[in-house]
Amino acid sequence: MSMITYQKAIEIIQAAAGKRSLQEEKVSLLQAVGRILTEDLYSREDLPAQDNSAMDGFAVKSEVTLLATAESPCLLPVMGYIAAGDALPLQKNSAGGVYGIMTGALIPEGDFDAVVKVEDVEVFCDGGVSSIRIKAPVPVGNNIRPQGSDFTKGTRILKRGHRLGHEDVMALAALGYTEIPAFKKLRVGVISTGKEIVPFATQDIAVEQVRNSSAPFLRSYFCSLGCDVDVFEQSEDNASGFGEKFAHLMSENYDLVLTTGGVSMGNWDYVTNSLQKLGVKTEFHKVAIRPGKPLLFGVHEKTGAAVFGLPGNPVSTAIGASFFVTSYLKALRGQGCEQSLQLPVIGSIKKPQGLRSFFKARIEQNDGVSRVRILPGQGSYMLHSLLEANCWAVVSEEGDRVAEGTTVEVHPWEGRTL
C-alpha cells in the first residue's frame, strides 16, 4: 500500500466517520462538562427576565433631573426601598419621587427609567422623611440591565457538536436547563506494543527498557475529549498476545482502538499484518508526514470499530492523536475542523522534501506582534521540548527549507499560556 498525503488521509478518515452514527443520551447538567452536544440549544426565556438595577442607588424618572446642577440640585423624596428578590411596589409612577434600589432589584414599573448610583447623590432626612439631592442629569437607561440583554428567548446559545465547559454549565443553569442532549461517550481501547515498553509506574527498569508514556497520554487526552478510555498493556510482545487483546476489545464493543508501536518495517513490527488477520480493512498505511509516517488507519469489518495504528515514539503518538484520531472524532460528532493560525516563523526551518512536517513550537509576542519559534529538541522521542511548547507549527510538503518570516500554519494547544 503506497504512502498517501496528509490531506488524503484526513479525507479518508472523515469519510469513514460519516458512515457511522453515535447514540445519544440525556446527561445531568451537573455531569455535563466535557460532553458533546447532539443538537443546538436555545434560550428558553429572556435573561434578565425584567429590567433590573446594575447598581445600589435610586430609581428615578430621568426627565425630572434634566436641570440638576451642583449649584441647583434636584431634591427628590424617597418613596421606599426595593431589594433584589422583592416584589415590585404598587406605585407605578414617580410622582416626583424615587425608590432606593439594590443591585439586581427590579426597576419599578411606569416612568422609572434610570438609576443613579448611591455615591452620586446626597442623602439626608428632613422631618423623618428621607430625600436625596441629585447634582447632575441622569441619562435614560443609566445603570439599568435591560430585559433580555444577556439572553433573548428563542436565540441559539450553543451549537451541535460543542464540547461543554464550566462556563456553559453556568449559563445553562441560569436558563433552567437540568439536563442536556449529548453523544454517548465513545469506548476507546489502547493497546501498547513493544518488548522494551514497561508500565509507567515501574521504578526499577533495565537500561534496555522504556516506561510507557504514550498510553497515559492517550488516556488523559481522549478522556478530556469526552471518551471512556481503557489501556491494555502487553504482557508478552507478540502477534498472539496482541490478537487476544484486540479480540477482547471487539467482543466488548469498543468503538475505537488505538495501538502504539509495531506499524513500521522492522522485524518485530507485526501489528499491521495482525490487524488484517483480525478482520481490519486497512484504509491507509503510511502518510507523507514527519514525524509519524508509518501511521495506519482501518475499520473492523464486523463491528465497524475504527482502528488507528500509531507509531511508537511518543511525539509521533501525540501527532497521530492530535491531528488524525481527533479528526475522526470531530467528524463523527459533527464538530467541524479546528481553526489554525497563520503566523510568521522566527528563524529558518529545514525540513524533508515531500513531507508535511509537524514541529514543537512556541508562539511569542513582541510589540503586540505574534510569531512562532521552532524549538530545539525536535526528535520524536524527545519530551522536554513538549513542556516548553504551546503549539504545533505545521509546514506543507513543498520544499526543504522555510525562510525566516514565512507564514506557517500554527495550532495552539488548549490550556497552554501563549
Model confidence at 129: pLDDT above 60: no
What per-residue confidence (pLDDT) applies to 165? 93
What per-residue confidence (pLDDT) applies to 352? 95
Model confidence at 235: pLDDT above 70: no
DSSP state for residue 152 in the 8-state scheme? -
> Rounded distance, CA 324 to CA 327, Å?
5
- Greater model confidence, 237 or 141: 141
Q: How confident is the model at residue 239 (pLDDT cuts 50, 70, 90)?
A: confident
Q: Find the helix packing angle between 326-333 and 6-18, rounded to 10°.
A: 40
> Rounded distance, CA 313 to CA 316, Å?
5
Place of cell 439586581: 104
Instruction: Note the pTM of the prediction, 2 decimals.
Output: 0.83
pLDDT digits (tens, 9 = 90+) for 45-100: 999 999 999 999 999 999 999 999 999 999 999 998 999 999 988 777 777 899 99
> Rounded distance, CA 396 to CA 418, Å?
23
H or E element: which one contains 348? Answer: none
What per-residue confidence (pLDDT) applies to 269? 74
DSSP states along 278-336: TTEEEEEE-BSEES-TT-EEEEETTT--EEEEE-SSHHHHHHIIIIIIHHHHHHHHT--
What per-residue confidence (pLDDT) applies to 201? 87
Average pLDDT score over residue span 402-406:
94
pLDDT digits (tens, 9 = 90+) for 306-348: 999 999 899 999 999 999 999 999 999 988 777 899 999 999 9
Domains of the chain: 6-23+185-333 (3.40.980.10), 37-44+157-182 (no CATH), 52-145 (2.170.190.11), 341-412 (2.40.340.10)
Mean residue pLDDT of the chain comes to: 92
